[in-house]
């Protein structure tokens, strides 16, 4: 599995470089300034923090049993098969 994931990462990297070169990226008039690199880094870090935080909340919510209590309440309120609402 690790080899497959590394192959996909390599393919994504090569595809990104090819796309960058296809649109003329990296030319003398198309560089990224220091502010651009800072913004890019902050965006990446922010996305990872938000994604990790949401995954942690979903994990802890699942472990706390609150989800199961809601599921049981909804199941209790639903009509049995063949009953009318």
Window from 22-26, 35-39, 45-49, 81-85 with minimum mean pLDDT? 81-85
The pLDDT > 70 percentage for the chain reads 85
Q: How confident is the model at residue 83 (pLDDT cuts 50, 70, 90)?
A: low
Q: How confident is the model at residue 42 (pLDDT cuts 50, 70, 90)?
A: very high
Given this model, what pLDDT does residue 71 score?
78
- Kindly tell me the burial class for residue 35, based on how many C-beta atoms sit within 10 Å of its own C-beta (0-12, 13-18, 19 or more): exposed
- Whole-number mean pLDDT of the chain? 84
Query: How far is C-alpha 68 from the chain's CA centre?
Result: 25
């Amino acid at each position: 599995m690790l080899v497959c994931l590394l192959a996909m990462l390599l393919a994504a990297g090569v595809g990104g470089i090819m796309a960058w070169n296809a649109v003329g990226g990296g030319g003398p008039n198309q560089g990224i300034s220091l502010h651009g690199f800072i913004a890019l880094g902050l965006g990446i870090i922010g996305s990872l923090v938000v994604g990790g935080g949401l995954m942690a909340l979903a994990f802890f919510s699942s472990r706390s049993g609150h989800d199961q209590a809601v599921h049981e309440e909804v199941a209790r309120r639903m009509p049995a098969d063949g009953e009318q609402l």
